[in-house]
Structure 1
Amino acid sequence: MVSQRQHYCLLLLAVHFLASSSTATSGKVPAIIVFGDSTVDAGNNNFIPTIARGNFPPYGRDFEGGVATGRFSNGHLVTDFLSEAFGLKPSVPAYLDTSFTIDQFASGVTFASGGTGLDDLTAEIPSVISLSQQLEYFKEYKEKLKEAKGESLANEIIAEALYIFSIGTNDFIVNYFVLPVRPAQYTAQEYVTYLVGLADAAIRDLYDLGARKISFSSLAPFGCIPSARTLNHDEPGECNEEYNQLARRFNAELLDALRKLNGDLAGALVVYTETYSVVDSIVANPSEYGFENVEQGCCGTGLIETSVLCGIDQAFTCQDANRYVFFDSVHPSEETYKIVANETLKTALQVFL
């Protein structure tokens, strides 16, 4: 017979166990689902007719097996490191890669496309996947997931997954500062507001499709990427402060929009993931992070090469990409992505762990 005291102790243990289980489950992320540009494209562009690709050497040389997957870096991306940190697979696959199954996509998938932006016009320039099309692919993914896992489990994955947006830089460096269309319609400040409105709309659309845990990354100081330094006519070799000022303005308006979304979207948690200050700190103090070169990319001369141009100038490519903040003239190296991932895990994304 169990005494009254023993029964009470067992009851306390049961309550403690249930409370612990509830806490652990509440922070569980069963999948990482990604939208955005080349900073989070794991190879979707390999499967569409565009020259904006990274599926050839020297890209991917530090990835498993030295394979150029289509990631615009020498190795893994921020989202790959985040996936592993959440106890999921060590890399997030591209949705258009038919070598992966829906069962593999169930724990993570990226719809991102290198060269795209919040503005659909940006995607038209290099003929890549617009953000609106990425959301259409997500709808398709949801249906496939229901067929494979059953509606109940699929809905649970969709509701508990962490959704990551990393997008916006190309709207400036591929679109606004290159083509005359948007400057004729908007001042630079007005265009920032227009883009933040598009970000707000995309999050609301995703919420309507079942998303509840959402991270939107700030813009990095894109005025300090090597190609921006090279093309800075006022101060050649220096960061373009006009670009960085716009990035900061976008980030400030984005933060305000995300705060409002948290009030508007019942049951959702939308977090602002600060990357500007992390990259800015690396650029200002590269040696403190183990870097030797911040002004050039590892690929080619490091001044202007990206995508197909990286494949042309392999003879000039650096030996150790970990010593470079950037792998090509636009995209960070794997080591930089790792630092950014670690910092965001300790700050904005901590609430989801």
Structure 2
Amino acid sequence: MAKIIRQHISSSFFSFFSFFFLVSLLGLIFPVVRGKVPAVIVFGDSSVDTGNNNGIETLLKSNFEPYGRNFEGGRPTGRFSNGRVPVDFFSEYYGLKKTVPAYLDPNYGMEDFVTGVNFASAGTGYDNTTSAVLNVIPVWQEIEYYKEYIEKLHAYVGEVKANEIITEAVYLVSMGTNDFLENYYLLPTTQACYTIQEFEDHLVGLARKFVEEIYSLGARKISLAGVPPMGCLPLERTINLMAIHECNEEYNNVALEFNAKVKGLVNQLNMQLPGIKVFLSNPYNVLRQMIRKPSIYGMEVTYKACCGTGLLEMSYLCSLDNSLTCSDADKYVFWDSFHPTEKTNRIMAEHLFKTVLYKFL
């Protein structure tokens, strides 16, 4: 049928139509999405935390310079980057605010949270043991904050509007990396309980319980993020004694295995939970491509980060008076030894929105 139609349409018109459709589909015309998604609601770890760790007692913070030096106003916000993180871009692409406020930030209130709210905590994971390593917010507490938010939302906008927001919002979930790097590969007690494949299955089971929990509270549009090529993080390359500065391919293979299992979970959830729409937002391939061929993206440095020596620094080790910190973060894939630069976050966000997240519209 498509072939017959094409034969009856002039080539010039068809070329224009195809281009317009493709551009619209990929989300490049952002104004068309305004009003389709009322809010973005975020759960997860430092890949998406926009400042919740500022309000808790933990060593894992980033609310000081040079973090945030490329953020609006040049101010540190608690984001583990020199600027915005992926969920900020997703919010903008859905026609909402350019940033997603942290729930524990005292500078924000319900008037700010109506169109988006962030419960993520740097250092957390699906497993409660992971959050205990650096004393950060466990995932069950993120859900408790969400329940509290629901009550406040009902009081603020009324039952009908609140239910609409809860049902139509896009839920962005990003965690798992810390479960492997700060839990399994760090703690002998965890390794004594699981093989790596058993631990992957354990995390997938916890991810299922998490989705089922927020589903029971009204969530219907859910993005589960895969884990990145964690063996290529500057910190892991620095401590890879078998081949210093090279990616730890064992860790990368685990990431691939885990992401495949999350994909299987996504398929199961879509079949088993009525009305749900779950997608896997997998950053692995696009980030690996940036690491392998940075020049394609206008970057130069991949094996080390911008902050300090770029080999080990993260959080308080990224101090303002470190003279080694780079002057142009856009040339680097990573900002600190564990987290991407704002440019990398934007490229990943654009890719994931154009390939996956536009489907929630």
Could you say whether these structures have the same fold, taking a TM-score greater than 0.5 normalized by the shorter chain as the test? yes
Distance 1:302 1:26 in 2: 39
Match of 1:161 in 2: 169
SS at the partner of 1:114?
coil
Question: Displacement, 1:314?
Answer: 2.5
Inter-CA distance 297–208: structure 2 relative to 1 (3 Å threshold): same
Distance 1:313 1:169 in 2: 29
Which stretches of structure 1, 4 residues or more, deviate above 2 A after TM superposition? 24-27
Query: Do structure 1's residue 323 and structure 2's residue 331 form an aligned pair?
Result: yes
Distance 1:340 1:25 in 2: 19
Query: Do structure 1's residue 227 and structure 2's residue 235 form an aligned pair?
Result: yes
**Amino acid corresponding to residue 28 of structure 1 in structure 2:** K
- 1:275-294 to structure 2, matched below 5 A, reads 275-294=283-302
Larger Rg: 1
What TM-score, normalized by structure 2, do the two folds share?
0.90
Match of 2:275 in 1: 267
Aligned length: 330
SS at the partner of 1:325?
coil
What TM-score, normalized by structure 1, do the two folds share?
0.92
Question: Displacement, 1:156?
Answer: 0.4
SS at the partner of 1:315?
coil
Structure 1 gap ranges (5+): 1-23
Query: Do structure 1's residue 145 and structure 2's residue 153 form an aligned pair?
Result: yes
Distance 1:224 1:313 in 2: 27
Match of 2:23 in 1: none
CA offsets, 1:190-224, max 9 Å, x none? Answer: 10110011111100101000000000111110100
Is residue 219–residue 247 contact of structure 1 (8 Å, CA) maintained in 2? yes
Q: Which moved more, 1:236-245 or 1:304-313?
A: 304-313
CA RMSD of aligned residues (A): 1.3
SS at the partner of 1:219?
coil
Distance 2:133 2:54 in 1: 17
Distance 2:321 2:127 in 1: 32
Query: Do structure 1's residue 103 and structure 2's residue 102 form an aligned pair?
Result: no
SS at the partner of 1:61?
coil
Inter-CA distance 182–81: structure 2 relative to 1 (3 Å threshold): same
CA offsets, 1:56-83, max 9 Å, x none? Answer: 0110000011110000000001000110
Return the match for 2:244 from 219, 236, 245. 236
Question: Displacement, 1:352?
Answer: 1.6
Return the match for 1:180 from 166, 188, 196. 188
Distance 2:322 2:204 in 1: 38
SS at the partner of 2:303?
strand
SS at the partner of 1:262?
helix
Match of 1:208 in 2: 216
CA offsets, 1:111-152, max 9 Å, x none? Answer: 000011110100001000011110110000000000101111
